[in-house]
A and B are shown apart, each in its own frame.
Chain A
Amino acid sequence: MMPAGVKRVLPQLITLAVLVALVSAVFPDFLQLHYSDGRLIGPVIDVLKRGAPVALLAIGMTLVVATGGIDLSVGTVMAITGAVAAAAIVAGHGLLWALGLALAAGLCAGLFSGCLIAFLGIQPIVATLILMISGRGIAQLITEGRILTFNLPAFSFLGSGHLLGIPVPVWLWLAAATLTVVVVRRTALGLLIEAVGINRRASALTGINARVILLAVYMISGLCAALAGIVTTADIRGADANNAGLWLELDAILATVIGGNSLLGGRFSIPAAVIGALIIQTINTGILLAGFPTEYNLVIKAALVVAILVLQSPLLAGDLKRVAARLTRLRHPAPATKKERASP
């Protein structure tokens, strides 16, 4: 028997392994690693680093999705928080101010969406759409319509630096995911989130403060988006209000779903969602490395995603089990009755 935690992420791990094998088949150097100049270099490290923004977003998205909600605003919140950080640096404030203000902006964005959802009862998809649409405008107001560039090595370190040979963004998503898993599983927060996601009314009747839980998950999602925005901004040493985090909310939702988390809410797994983010990045990088003409990229990505979702579908899993059972029966025919046992 393997531990329940490993069993839960097994489909995602297998998918990732198959993808890595596929990419290696068309690009044999995919798993090559070099150590030079105090840092590890190789396509795999590149996947881990470039996957950082979506991995960070997927952490918050998983908690939001567990409550039966969705957060469409995370991509633009990345743009807002990046703009806030860059503006703070350009205005002459130091690293701590830039980080503090960016994280606070992310929390505020989550608080805004969370209030609309928890207190006004607005549907999550509509409530977060507001910020998704208006957020780029807010970011442009902060950057005054320009790409705000800055030079602060301590801040750029968060996007392009290395620690123990590994890019800092990788440490950031690893730390954020570990911290979040510890917080939700070592406290009762995870259970309460799942309860609210499965049955909000029954949860409220048992005395769970469902509003506070909803507020909390959108604020955590805003915080994760802020971290992703910081990483992206630090990496390119500038805040691009138009393109930072563009469409990444969709990748984050996809990562969560590939991680086997139901959009209807309920049981969730953050490690599986983060592996889902790596699966998406492996596809992105793999397509580039395989040297397909760029116009094929999105179509190939879509085909792979469809294949993954079909293979993971619970209905198909049931069918496969039935097929396997039939095959064993054919090989070892049962003596008497052929009657299928109806579920009790």
Chain B
Amino acid sequence: MLGRELAAEEHAARRAEGHTEAAGEPLLAFEQVGRRGHIEPFDLSIQRGEVIGMAGLLGSGRTETAEVMFGIKRAHSGRVRDVEGTDGGKGADELHLRGPRDAIAAGFGFAPEDRKTDGIVAELSIRENIILALQARRGWMRPIPRAEQQRLANDYIARLDIRTSGAEKAIGELSGGNQQKVVLARWLAMNPRFLILDEPTRGIDVGAHAEILTLIRELTAKGMAVLVISSELDELIAVSDRVIVLRDRRQVATLVGEEIGLEPVVRAIASADTHTEEAPA
């Protein structure tokens, strides 16, 4: 867990940076999207260059929300509009997310919570894991040339500081933090518009923690929108422009700007009725 001073520092640095030229342009709008038994209908508009934090207790519907957004579980209600590049949302395209392939085609990326079962393909090499999404998008008929694969792999190994003896090592042999970096590299190679990170720093050593938070900042500076789900509130507060709080499969609060802080978030997570005793301090 990050020290609180570090968190505050991150936060301040983030605010000081101000908005990049792309930030604030509307990108996507989820309108009354929901799935019975999984997540109550919610509204969420996403802007370029924005980090949205999602907080809530275990079982509050955070991962379910991400899965509905990425098309893994189909929404039963609502619609998703692709607002970018259209005038004030007029004539905006509606996105039909029937599966991850649709979401990926729309420029989404998703690094799942359970790296081992949902993220990595353990026996494949780092190189193969990095190019996998890119190759899936190109289709099996158009293989990425080997030289290009190697260039991509070496590029991301250097850029994300992935600790490995080489790109041909099986990803299963890496440490958790380095596996997570490879999964991130896989999506960065796709140059997504909207990246969903579910517990990106779980089970990762402190050094890699900080690196991943820094990376999120760099990505949003280039205009990418990122949704971060995390149980580590210090970290969530440090990195987010906006924090959404879920409770009982429902969005109960949205905190922006000055409101983002440990106490308001904890209060929203735990407020009123249930679960108070389980709230993390």
Q: Which residues of A contact B (CB under 8 A)?
A: 186-189, 191-192, 194-195, 198-199, 201-209, 266-267
Note all chain A residues with C-beta closer than 8 A to B139. Answer: 188
Q: Which residues of B contact A (CB under 8 A)?
A: 70, 72, 99-101, 104, 110, 112, 117-124, 128, 132-133, 135-144, 186
Note all chain B residues with C-beta closer than 8 A to A192. Answer: 135-136, 140
30 A-B residue pairs with CB within 8 Å: A186-B143, A187-B141, A187-B143, A188-B135, A188-B138, A188-B140, A188-B141, A192-B136, A194-B123, A195-B121, A198-B122, A199-B120, A199-B121, A202-B117, A202-B118, A202-B120, A202-B121, A203-B121, A204-B100, A205-B100, A205-B112, A205-B118, A206-B104, A206-B132, A206-B133, A206-B186, A207-B101, A207-B136, A207-B137, A209-B101
Q: What would 14 more interface pairs be, CB under 8 Å, given A198-B123, A206-B100?
A: A187-B141, A187-B142, A188-B135, A188-B139, A188-B144, A191-B132, A191-B143, A195-B121, A201-B117, A205-B70, A205-B112, A206-B132, A209-B101, A209-B136
Cα–Cα, bound, A170→B186 (Å): 43
Note all chain A residues with C-beta closer than 8 A to B99. Answer: 204
Note all chain B residues with C-beta closer than 8 A to A207. Answer: 100-101, 104, 133, 136-137
Q: A205-B72, A206-B186 are in contact. Are A191 and B120 (CB under 8 A)?
A: no
Cα–Cα, bound, A190→B45 (Å): 40
Q: Determine how close the nearest CB of chain B comes to the CB of A11; give it in whole angstroms.
A: 19
A203 to B140, Cβ gap below 8 A? no
Q: A186-B143, A189-B140 are in contact. Are A195 and B72 (CB under 8 A)?
A: no
Note all chain A residues with C-beta closer than 8 A to B123. Answer: 194, 198, 266-267
Cα–Cα, bound, A84→B118 (Å): 44
B132 to A203, Cβ gap below 8 A? yes
B142 to A188, Cβ gap below 8 A? yes
Q: Determine how close the nearest CB of chain A comes to the CB of B9; give it in whole angstroms.
A: 34
Closest 4 CB pairs of A and B: A207-B136, A188-B143, A207-B104, A206-B133
Q: Determine how close the nearest CB of chain B comes to the CB of A63; give it in whole angstroms.
A: 13
Note all chain B residues with C-beta closer than 8 A to A205. Answer: 70, 72, 100, 110, 112, 118-119
Cα–Cα, bound, A203→B122 (Å): 11
B136 to A208, Cβ gap below 8 A? yes
Chain B residue nearest in CB terms to A199:
B121
Cα–Cα, bound, A195→B128 (Å): 9
Note all chain B residues with C-beta closer than 8 A to A201. Answer: 117-118
Of B100, B110, B119, B123, most buried by chain A (CB within 10 Å of CB) is: B123
B135 to A199, Cβ gap below 8 A? no
Chain A residue nearest in CB terms to B139:
A188
A208 to B132, Cβ gap below 8 A? yes
B117 to A199, Cβ gap below 8 A? yes
Chain A residue nearest in CB terms to B186:
A206
Cα–Cα, bound, A189→B123 (Å): 17
Q: Determine how close the nearest CB of chain A comes to the CB of B257; give it in whole angstroms.
A: 34
Note all chain B residues with C-beta closer than 8 A to A195. Answer: 121, 124, 128, 132
